[in-house]
């Protein structure tokens, strides 16, 4: 018998299908050894030696694997091919005593297919100690930071807080952006649009004022932000009086075509997915969080339908590209397929070129082909991955583009411009329709990816222009002065936070999702109704303390350089102990100094009131469930009070009665927020949710109110509080207005716009 050990039961089940009766495939259920949860367990004086243990939940599993290993003629460790997977194999070898008593083989593959498994079995290798060291270095360094810096936060702010090498930088990005938004002062300006038509024709098109008396009307402002430049476009027309004068003058002007530029332009597909771009696309197109995206991708991988999902490589195997080529020709036609496979070059430093991008394991299997094998979330994500990879091997889309320059003259001379384009050949848009290229780093209003809804390949046009000749006179239809104002840098959403972290080298593919999940779970940040991340008060306080006293921990370049150190350990260029030592010595020295210098009082807000019990100062403190008022003489005086915000909530729910015993309900706090609890507790344990009302009646039942709610996965939605009698619900926040076309509620959309909540209606109102 030959024993094959992998990490997950799903992966074991899939691999077992490909192997014969000579093999038995078992799962380790993840790590079988780790650092203990309640002790640091790192011998700092002895070269930072870690003291691993077998967790209680893994002990029975290890015993079972030991018995199977003793009976097996060959043991094969087949965990994932990345650093984490290599470390799991090493821990398995150590925990099962394989290094001392029995020989074993290590195999790796990036897709779970019969061919890949067979190839791996015929090409075993030793455990890569460099990859193990890189994983171990990250684990030890993060343990040192967490176990030494977190207690500092407990002493200076409150218990239960945590700090981490990567999470603290992610938090700082969000806090700095919030401060940049608060500092921003918008400027009003006007954009001039002129509607024109050709003589005798009904075709009306829009043109925009770009020059006046030879000078450019538009200018670009550049703001220097914490994480890069933010560019703002505005015009020099900064008052209603200037705008009105220009409109009046243009209404008397004559218009003539000055120049026509026609050219054929190509739009190329995006490369296949990496971990970062998959998360960005899934967040924007499917509404998945980064954590949920990786969880679903893991399941699809373990079922054998996609390649490994933690990668920063853009490589595709030649075999997969040839398979995609055949699939494209079969489904869409030969004119959509490239004559030769298209290779993409990975730009990021330290990318694993031997690995592949995230792609379907079998490109010929369409999402419909796997409908019976995948649950709804898995099929949606597989569809995204399949379309992206197939599109990457398709012909570019071809557009006929026209740029029109128009002279206008009255008291002043003006230059107008109109742009238009039509799709001549849809190419890759047939499978992956795209409204826009991947947005700039600061654009948080979109997903970080383009929409792929639809897919019927219909051609479209953008501001289709009528045929004209140079020198042709045009007729004025209307002149509009559109009031606008510059917008503050937008908050990050999960997609753009992942993008900015990747661009700055903060973390690696395996850390993006858990980092965001951590700062959300710690209640350092939260999401608003537009799914944008904003810092909570405790998050701002923690960040400000770290910035003031531990600047290297929250420094982008410093954190990125450590990631480079880990990469070099993985490549065998550096040893892990000196890397840890170079970080730890100055960090620990500074921590010792700051523990003595920084006072808890520095982070407590004093109130202008005395304690009614002892006369001491009343201060605002942070507890497990939020802020509260307490006496500064604690523990000698244990007086506490509710904040004004809590008292307001109490007042709003005054008079509510427990449905179980009839006693008055009281506003209480728990780890999930405020709720109403029976005043007879613990005799009566009646509780009730505090619903945040929108002020709108349910349009379906006309009885209940629309309130904020959260799904089982924590996603915010808006539903009728008469549920289950009425199941009306919306994913987006209703604006309070009704659609002028169908009467359904309008809901918030991207960039402050509103759209109809009905799926059958496409009404959109701009901000």
The answer to whether residue 619 sits within a structural domain is no
Q: Are residues 335 and 407 in the same domain?
A: no
Domain boundary among 562, 578, 600: 600
Question: CA-to-CA distance for 436 and 433, rounded, in angstroms?
Answer: 9
CA angle centred on 676, ends 672 and 681, rounded to 5°: 105
Q: Are residues 180 and 210 in the same domain?
A: no
CB atoms within 10 A of CB 309: 26
Domain count, the chain: 5
Structure tokens belonging to residue 32: 């079988």
How distant, in Å, are the alpha carbons of 217, 260, 766 from that of 233? 11, 25, 18
Structure tokens belonging to residue 566: 């880990």
Q: How far apart are the first and last CA of the chain?
A: 68
- For residue 143, the model assigns a pLDDT of 95
Long-range contacts of 734-738 (CB under 8 A, 24+ apart): 734/694, 734/696, 734/706, 736/694, 736/695, 736/696
Q: Lowest mean pLDDT of 390-404, 541-555, 619-633, name the range.
A: 619-633
* For residues 483-497, average pLDDT: 94
CATH of the domain at 7: 3.40.50.140
Q: Are residues 469 and 511 in the same domain?
A: no
Average pLDDT over the chain reads 89
DSSP state of 337: B
The answer to whether residue 73 sits within a structural domain is yes
The answer to whether residue 702 sits within a structural domain is no
Q: Which residues contact 428 (CB under 8 A, 6 or more apart)?
A: 268, 269, 336, 391, 392, 394, 395, 396, 397
Question: CA-to-CA distance for 289 and 498, rounded, in angstroms?
Answer: 11
pLDDT in tens, 98-136: 976 668 999 999 999 999 999 999 999 999 999 999 999
Tell me the pLDDT band of 454, cut-offs 50, 70 and 90.
Answer: very low
Q: Are residues 201 and 88 in the same domain?
A: no
| H or E segment to which residue 522 belongs | none
User: Of 156-160, 343-347, 614-618, which one has max mean pLDDT?
Assistant: 614-618
Q: Are residues 310 and 347 in the same domain?
A: yes
Q: Are residues 314 and 372 in the same domain?
A: yes
- For residue 448, the model assigns a pLDDT of 32
The answer to whether residue 418 sits within a structural domain is yes
The answer to whether residue 438 sits within a structural domain is no
% of the chain with per-residue pLDDT over 90: 68
Q: Are residues 165 and 232 in the same domain?
A: no
pTM over 0.75: yes
Q: Are residues 160 and 240 in the same domain?
A: no
CATH of the domain at 530: 1.10.460.10
- For residue 343, the model assigns a pLDDT of 93
Query: 509 or 691: whose pLDDT is higher?
Result: 509
Q: Are residues 412 and 375 in the same domain?
A: no
Q: Are residues 415 and 519 in the same domain?
A: no
Catalytic one of 52, 301, 305, 308: 308
The answer to whether residue 117 sits within a structural domain is yes
Q: Are residues 246 and 344 in the same domain?
A: no
The answer to whether residue 592 sits within a structural domain is yes
CATH of the domain at 418: 2.70.20.10
Q: Are residues 259 and 408 in the same domain?
A: yes
- For residue 223, the model assigns a pLDDT of 93
Alpha helices in 207-357 (DSSP H): 240-250, 275-286, 290-302, 318-331
Q: Which residues of 78-94 are buried (b: 16+ CB within 10 A; e: fewer)?
A: bbbbbbbbbbbbbbbbe
pLDDT in tens, 649-676: 777 777 788 989 989 888 887 766 678 8
* For residues 581-608, average pLDDT: 90
* For residues 422-438, average pLDDT: 78
The answer to whether residue 279 sits within a structural domain is yes
Is 308 a residue of the active site?
Answer: yes
Helix (H, G, I), strand (E, B) or coil at 618: strand
- Which residues constitute the domain of residue 349? 275-395
CB atoms within 10 A of CB 653: 15
Distance of CA 329 to the CA centre of its chain: 34
């Amino acid at each position: 018998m030959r024993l094959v050990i992998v990490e997950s039961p799903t992966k074991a089940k899939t691999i077992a299908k490909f192997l014969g009766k000579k093999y038995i495939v078992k799962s380790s259920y993840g790590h079988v050894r780790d650092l203990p949860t309640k002790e640091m367990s790192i011998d700092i004086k002895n070269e930072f030696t870690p003291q691993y243990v077998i967790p209680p939940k893994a002990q029975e599993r290890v015993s079972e694997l030991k018995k199977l290993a003793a009976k097996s003629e060959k043991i094969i460790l087949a965990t994932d091919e990345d650093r984490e997977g290599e470390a799991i194999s090493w821990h398995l070898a150590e925990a099962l005593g394989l290094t001392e008593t029995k020989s074993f083989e290590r195999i790796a593959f990036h897709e779970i297919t019969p061919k890949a498994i067979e190839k791996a079995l015929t090409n075993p290798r030793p455990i890569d100690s460099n990859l193990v060291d890189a994983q171990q270095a990250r684990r030890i360094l993060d343990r040192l930071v967490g176990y030494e810096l977190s207690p500092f936060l407990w002493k200076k702010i409150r218990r239960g807080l945590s700090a981490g090498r990567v999470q603290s930088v992610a938090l700082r990005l969000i806090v700095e952006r919030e401060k940049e938004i608060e500092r921003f002062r918008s400027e009003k300006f006007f954009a001039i649009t002129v509607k024109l038509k050709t003589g005798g024709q009904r075709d009306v098109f829009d043109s925009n004022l770009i020059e006046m008396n030879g000078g450019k009307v538009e200018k670009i402002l550049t703001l220097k932000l914490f994480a890069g430049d933010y560019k703002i476009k505005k015009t020099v027309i900064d008052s209603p009086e200037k705008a009105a004068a220009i409109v009046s003058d243009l209404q008397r002007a004559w218009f003539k075509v000055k120049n026509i530029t026609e050219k054929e332009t190509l739009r190329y597909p995006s490369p296949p997915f990496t971990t970062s771009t998959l998360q960005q696309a899934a967040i924007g197109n499917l509404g998945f969080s980064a954590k949920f995206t990786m969880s679903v991708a893991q399941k699809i991988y373990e079922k054998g339908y996609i390649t490994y999902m933690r990668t920063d490589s853009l490589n595709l195997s030649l075999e997969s590209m040839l398979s995609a080529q055949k699939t494209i020709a079969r489904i869409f036609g030969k004119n959509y397929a490239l004559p030769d496979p298209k290779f993409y070059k990975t730009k990021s430093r330290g990318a694993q070129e031997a690995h592949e991008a995230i792609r379907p394991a079998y490109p010929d299997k369409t999402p419909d082909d796997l409908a019976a094998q995948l649950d709804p979330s898995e099929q949606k994500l597989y569809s995204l991955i399949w379309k992206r990879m197939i599109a990457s091997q398709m012909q570019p889309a071809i557009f006929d583009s026209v740029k029109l320059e128009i002279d206008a003259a009255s008291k002043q001379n003006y230059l107008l411009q109109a742009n238009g384009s039509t799709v001549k050949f849809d190419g890759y848009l047939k499978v992956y329709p795209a409204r826009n290229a991947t947005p700039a780093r600061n654009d948080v209003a979109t997903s970080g990816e383009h929409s792929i809804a639809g897919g019927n390949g219909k051609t479209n046009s953008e501001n289709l222009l009528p045929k004209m000749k140079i020198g042709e006179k045009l007729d004025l239809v209307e002149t509009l002065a559109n009031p606008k104002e510059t917008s503050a840098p937008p908050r990050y959403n999960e997609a753009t936070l992942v993008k900015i972290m990747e661009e700055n080298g903060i973390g690696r593919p395996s850390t993006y999702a858990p980092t965001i999940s951590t700062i959300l779970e710690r209640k350092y940040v939260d999401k608003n109704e537009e799914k944008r991340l904003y810092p909570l008060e405790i998050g701002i306080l923690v960040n400000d303390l770290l910035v003031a006293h531990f600047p290297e921990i929250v420094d982008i370049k410093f954190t990125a350089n450590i990631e480079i150190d880990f990469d070099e350990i993985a490549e065998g260029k550096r040893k892990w102990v000196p890397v840890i030592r170079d970080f730890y010595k100055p960090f620990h020295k500074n921590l010792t100094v700051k523990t003595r210098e920084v006072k808890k009082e520095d982070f407590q807000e004093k109130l202008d009131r005395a304690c009614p019990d002892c006369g001491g100062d009343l201060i605002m403190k942070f507890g497990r469930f939020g802020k509260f008022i307490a006496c500064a003489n604690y523990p000698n005086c244990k007086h506490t009070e509710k904040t004004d915000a809590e008292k307001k909530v109490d007042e709003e729910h005054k008079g509510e009665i427990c449905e179980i015993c009839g006693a008055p309900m009281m506003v209480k706090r728990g780890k999930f927020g405020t709720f109403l609890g029976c005043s007879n507790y613990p005799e009566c344990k009646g509780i009730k949710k505090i619903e945040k009302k929108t002020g709108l009646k349910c349009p379906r039942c006309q009885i209940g109110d629309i309130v904020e709610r959260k799904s089982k996965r924590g996603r915010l939605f808006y539903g009728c509080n008469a549920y289950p009698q009425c199941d009306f619900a919306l994913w987006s926040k209703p604006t309070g207005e009704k659609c002028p076309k169908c009467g359904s509620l309008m809901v918030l959309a991207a960039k402050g716009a509103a759209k109809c909540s009905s799926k059958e209606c496409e009404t959109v109102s701009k901000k």
